[in-house]
Amino acid sequence: MSNSLVNLRIDFAFKQLFGTNGNEDILVAFLNAILKDSLESPIVALQLEDPHLHREYEEDKLSILDISATLNTGTKVNVEIQLNNNHDMIKRSLYYWGKLYTSQLQKGMPYSSLHKTITINLLNFVMFPEYEAFHTTGILWNQQQQKLLSDDIEVHIVEIPKLLQQWREEKVNPWEDSFVRWLLLLP
């Protein structure tokens, strides 16, 4: 008998745990930990969605998200786990965000029916070596007025190697931070 554990950084295993019907409560707990500073109230329920970002035209790129869900508030969430640095993560993340955001509108619907869309990227590499923090959140910001322009866009970058380093150095405590506790399942 093998003592090997399942590597949740492999997208198939990650999807099986967090993106399978019947496991929504696990995904709710995970997202509540990650998004505790982003949401007005904790997630109560969610609906897993088809992870395929359908093409409008035959020549459009076919994209398959790791996890796609709609929260009870209507907020759309995409969670991606990425092992290798292909040096295109920001553009890729914005592309997925844009496709998920625009997929909400059907012909004749008003733009006001669009809901906040959040992309969460769990990276097995360091993307921002100049930042100490392992969790970076990007929003749409008005530089002149120094205020939020829209809360419809939110992109989270989580650098797992930084988290592990901070954990080894006892800079983060999984017993005090549920987000850290969840992320330590991934290494």
Tell whether 4 is covered by a domain.
no
Give the DSSP per-residue string, 29-95. HHHHHHTTTT-SS----EEE---EE--SSTTSPPEE-SEEEEETTS-EEEEEEE-S--S-HHHHHHH
At residue 171, the pLDDT reads 97
pLDDT of residue 60 exceeding 70, the answer is no
Which of the four pLDDT bands, split at 50, 70 and 90, describes residue 181?
very high
- Kindly report the pTM of this predicted structure: 0.90
Tell whether 117 is covered by a domain.
yes
What's the rounded mean pLDDT across residues 59-64?
63
Select the more confidently predicted residue: 152 or 63. 152
Tell whether 1 is covered by a domain.
no
pLDDT of residue 111 exceeding 80, the answer is yes
At residue 65, the pLDDT reads 78
Tell whether 17 is covered by a domain.
yes
Select the more confidently predicted residue: 10 or 174. 174
pLDDT of residue 2 exceeding 80, the answer is no
For residue range 120-155, what is the model confidence (pLDDT) as tens digits?
Answer: 999 999 999 999 999 999 999 999 999 999 999 999
Domain that holds residue 60: 11-103+112-183
pLDDT of residue 52 exceeding 80, the answer is no
Which of left, alpha, beta for 78 (phi over 0: left; psi -120 to 50: alpha)? beta
At residue 59, the pLDDT reads 63
Tell whether 88 is covered by a domain.
yes
pLDDT above 90: percentage of residues in the chain:
70
Mean pLDDT for all residues in the chain? 89
Tell whether 5 is covered by a domain.
no
Q: Which residue, among 104, 106, 40, has the nearest Cα to 74 in the 3D structure?
A: 104
pLDDT above 70: percentage of residues in the chain:
90
Which of the four pLDDT bands, split at 50, 70 and 90, describes residue 17?
confident
Tell whether 120 is covered by a domain.
yes
Q: How many domains is the chain built from?
A: 1
Tell whether 84 is covered by a domain.
yes
Q: Count the neighbouring beta carbons within 10 Å of the beta carbon of residue 21.
A: 7
At residue 135, the pLDDT reads 97
